[in-house]
Chain A
Amino acid sequence: RKEVEQDPGPFNVPEGATVAFNCTYSNSASQSFFWYRQDCRKEPKLLMSVYSSGNEDGRFTAQLNRASQYISLLIRDSKLSDSATYLCVVTPDNAGNMLTFGGGTRLMVKP
C-alpha cells in the first residue's frame, strides 16, 4: 500500500460545479497535511494547510479525518482556472525532513 494515495482522475467537471477529492494516508503518526496545486510543467504551489478542525479559504474547504486517515479538498463553484493537478502532501512524523506526496489528482474544468 502506498503511503499517500489519491485517485489520479482526471475529474472532468463543468464550470460552476462542486468537486471533492480524497487522499488517504497509511501512517497514523502523520503530523501535518497540505494540499498543493501544480499546473502543467510548473512547480507545486501551496494551496492550503489542513487543520484538524477543518478550514476554509474562499471556495476551497479542507478536512482532516484522523480516525479514518484521510484528508479531503472540496472546491465549490469551479472555475476554468482551477484546472490543475492537486497534490496531497503529508509530513509523516518527527523523524526528519520527509514530505510524502500523493500521486496527484488531475482536475479539468470545462466551459
Chain B
Amino acid sequence: DTEVTQTPKHLVMGMTNKKSLKCEQHMGHRAMYWYKQKAKKPPELMFVYSYEKLSINESVPSRFSPECPNSSLLNLHLHALQPEDSALYLCASSQVVLALPKQKLFFGSGTQLSVL
C-alpha cells in the first residue's frame, strides 16, 4: 500500500461545483506535488510545494488552487472546471527537493476526476 493517501478515490463534479482533493503523507517528506495524468499519457507536473511553500506552478489555470496547510497535508481546490480537466490527479512526495541526488517520488493512488 502506498504511504501517500489521497481522497476521494473517485469524484464526479459539475462545471459549477467547488470541490477539494486531499493528500496526506506521514513519511516526514518536505516536498509535495500535484500531477495530472490523462489516459495513455505520462503524468504532467502541476504544482510543487517545498517546505510548505509553493515553489513551482506550471502555468496551471486559476480554477485549480493548491494549498499546503502543514508539512503532511496537501490540498487541491477545484472550482469551475471544464470537461477537459477530467483526468487522474496524482499527489506525490519526496524527502526533499528532487534536485538532490537519489531523491525518489512516492505517489498516492490518485483521484479519478470526471467533470460533467
Nearest residue (CB) in A for B106 is A46
Contact yes or no, A45 B107, CB < 8 A: yes
Neighbour of A46 across the interface among B42, B55, B99, B104, CB < 8 A: B104
Q: Is A55 an interface residue (CB 8 A)?
A: no
A: number of interface residues (CB 8 Å): 24
8 A Cβ contacts from B96-116 to A: 97-99, 101-110, 112
Residue numbers of A with Cβ under 8 A of B are 31-32, 34, 41-46, 49, 87, 89, 91, 93-99, 101-104
| Given contact pairs A32-B102, A43-B108, a sample of 14 additional A-B residue pairs in the complex whose CB atoms are under 8 Å apart | A31-B99, A42-B109, A44-B43, A44-B90, A49-B102, A87-B42, A94-B99, A95-B99, A97-B31, A97-B55, A97-B98, A98-B56, A101-B43, A104-B42
Residue numbers of B with Cβ under 8 A of A are 2, 31, 33, 40-43, 45, 48, 50, 55-56, 88, 90, 97-99, 101-110, 112
